Structure 1
Amino acid sequence: MIYLSTVTPVYRGSEFLEKLVYEIAKVKEELEGINAPFRILESVFVDDGSIDGSDLVLEKLSKTYSWLVVITLSKNFGQHPATTAGILHSSGDWIVTLDEDLQHHPKFILTLLKEAVFTNSDVVYANPEQSVHESRFRDYSSKKFKVLISKITRNPAVVMFNSFRLMRGSIARATAAISIDQTYFDIALGWFTTRISQISFPLKDDRFINSKISGYSLVKLISHARRLVQSSELKILRIGTILGLSATIFGIIFVIFVIFIKVFYPELITAQGWASVIILVSILGGVNAFLIGLVLEHISILLMQSHGKPKFFEVNRKEDSIILKWFKLIDSK
């Protein structure tokens, strides 16, 4: 049997938790009823220093649903640390992360898993078909920032990033295990696999639309963006190294050219000193830029190592064929 786990960080979700667990239970019962080769093994809820009585709701629900696991953090650490804590406490072959407010509906879990096995992916992100927050500025700025970081880091997966995702359990737990305070979890996922895809769903953040209250303040959003950049390999730094080397080579070639003119065509030199200035600026500036680029690239490498970027990782995808065969059988009926 293949098992799925769901992980949900909880901070201010008391009014949504009963409905969320009920919807997960429906999917769990449906899978058991149709004799699927996979089951929802557990739903891990991480109480991230909740402020609205969510802990009491979770305690009550855990008495009703034996497969509900509650993890209580000592204080509010934030969505990413809470998510990684939940992942480390999970044991499923596949893990789905869900927000507390039903923005990510459990009914899409099967579609995510189907997408994973049909595209041979280790990670599948759920992305919205339309505006999530019904706030043009927020949705547009978020999208464009991801595009910018994707280009700077040359990481095409950045534009897919979403907290609603399905991950192969072994990869998710390995990523969570090496993540430190400043590690951006989705960037770290890309250190373990490049088999990443996405699928679109009609996702809406009704809590924000109705109350205009966001779980992220401007300061948190800036910190979020900083960690995204900090966890990425800034390959744009290599451009500085290349430009510096190019300027140095240009300076050397120009020296040879000036010497040639001075020896064979001295009458062409009408002004004295300008060639020396250009040569000095080009060579010295180029050497400085080249050395600074090398230092920054080395710092970037050390930063990746401090974040725990692995040299290699083993994965077992053999059971995917069982899920794939079952989905094809269902589709043929």
Structure 2
Amino acid sequence: MSISKLSIVVPCFNEESNIQELFKELIDVINVLTFSSEVIFVDDGSKDNTFSEIEKISLENKFVSGISLSRNFGHQIALLAGLEKSTGDVVITMDGDLQHPPNIIPELIKKYEDGYDIVNTRRIDPESISFFKKKTSTLFYTIINKLSDIKVEPFSADFRLMSRETVNAFLSIKEHDRFTRGLVSWIGFNQGVVEYKANSRFSGKSSYTFKKMIKLAINGITTMSSKPLRISLYLGLIFFITGIIYAAFILYNYFTGVNVEGWTSILITILVLGGIQLLILSIIGEYVSRIFNETKSRPLYLIKKKTGTNN
């Protein structure tokens, strides 16, 4: 499959010290391509001078444009904003911290030319990645693939190539709570995988805190599956049946004159049942909050500023 124009979408949050180095590496790749390219930077409400750096690059390079969102809407929404702005018949999305190496781009293009509509990437973590992060990442993909009706590529990232047809299909999904990896799997098409060795951040600290990773995990599971609600039903049934059996046991002992000493067992039962009820209510609450978000019909993002001749 031939390519006439490539779009590269880069969401950024507080990447002031990384933008210039990333662009240098992108230029090295773009200069050897035989078709035109555009680079779209999306500043997701950065608190530093990220957008100023984007403006400098766009003034010197006509194929570079940038948009600055009015606040931090989150990585998944910033990705969406860049995809909506892209005009290429092939689009590559990647992060702005150089952990997604630009020199892998030719491999993604080669895979596309081999007939794949979407080319995902599978991350091989560097030695510096902590044991805890590796294990929690493995656990996340295990859980989401057990609960979801679709398969999410393990150790994947939002570093991928998509054809214009698949980008349009992705953009037709108007959900507010978005889990891009899951949605890309859900739309189907012919998908391939390229492995890459993740680099360490060029500079700065990751904005993906443990709290944000937990939020992403919960969002991914509840967005792509209703099975947690079904599990809540099963838990309710199990404890309801257990309660009936226990009640029958107490009544039997009462009528046969056996004294049942049960302060400890009663307390444990109350604590366990109370915990299960709170867990089930929390799961239901997550789904209700998603319904609430969808019914508000607010725009997914707002643009504060633009730069580049393509805007």
Q: RCO (CA 8 Å, sep 6+): is it higher in 1 or 2?
A: 2
Corresponding position: 1:181 with 2:176: yes
The aligned counterpart of 1:192 is: 187
CA contact (8 A) 2:11 2:75 kept: yes
Q: Report Cα offsets for 1:222-264 as digits up to 9, x if no partner.
A: 211111012213457778999xxxxxxxxxxxxxxxxxxxxxx
The aligned counterpart of 1:230 is: 222
Q: Secondary structure at the match of 2:154?
A: helix
Q: Secondary structure at the match of 1:127?
A: strand
Note the C-alpha offset of 1:215.
Answer: 1.1
CA contact (8 A) 1:122 1:193 kept: no
Q: Which AA in structure 2 matches 1:232?
A: M
Note the C-alpha offset of 1:205.
Answer: 2.7
Q: Which AA in structure 2 matches 1:141?
A: T
Superposed counterparts of 1:245-324, under 5 Å: none
Pick the structure with more helix per residue.
Answer: 1
The aligned counterpart of 2:60 is: 64
Identity over the aligned pairs, expressed in percent?
Answer: 27
Q: Report Cα offsets for 1:26-49 as digits up to 9, x if no partner.
A: 2121114xxxxxx24200000111
Corresponding position: 1:201 with 2:203: no
The aligned counterpart of 1:75 is: 71
Cα RMSD between the aligned structures?
3.0
CA contact (8 A) 2:138 2:155 kept: no
Q: 1:128 and 1:186, CA in 2 relative to 1: closer, same or farther beyond 3 A? A: closer
**1:214 & 1:6 partners in 2: Cα distance?**
21
Note the C-alpha offset of 1:200.
Answer: 0.9
CA contact (8 A) 1:132 1:205 kept: no
Q: TM-score, normalising length from structure 1? A: 0.65
User: Which of the numbers 2, 20, 23 marks the counterpart of 2:22?
Assistant: 20
**1:198 & 1:91 partners in 2: Cα distance?**
24
**2:138 & 2:112 partners in 1: Cα distance?**
24
CA contact (8 A) 1:85 1:176 kept: no
CA contact (8 A) 1:14 1:53 kept: yes
Task: Give the length in aligned residue pairs.
Answer: 242
Q: 1:51 and 1:154, CA in 2 relative to 1: closer, same or farther beyond 3 A? A: same
CA contact (8 A) 2:123 2:157 kept: no
Corresponding position: 1:169 with 2:164: yes
Q: Secondary structure at the match of 1:178?
A: coil
**1:237 & 1:131 partners in 2: Cα distance?**
37
CA contact (8 A) 1:47 1:70 kept: yes
The aligned counterpart of 1:107 is: 103
CA contact (8 A) 2:126 2:200 kept: no
Superposed counterparts of 1:22-41, under 5 Å: 22-32=24-34, 39-41=35-37
Q: TM-score, normalising length from structure 2? A: 0.69
**2:122 & 2:79 partners in 1: Cα distance?**
18
**Structure 2 unaligned spans of 5+:** 235-283, 296-311
Bigger mean CA deviation after superposition, 190-199 or 86-95: 190-199
**1:132 & 1:163 partners in 2: Cα distance?**
21
The aligned counterpart of 2:123 is: 128
Q: Which AA in structure 2 matches 1:190?
A: S
Note the C-alpha offset of 1:179.
Answer: 3.8
CA contact (8 A) 1:132 1:203 kept: no
Q: Secondary structure at the match of 2:178?
A: coil
The aligned counterpart of 2:255 is: none
User: Which of the numbers 140, 143, 154 marks the counterpart of 2:135?
Assistant: 140
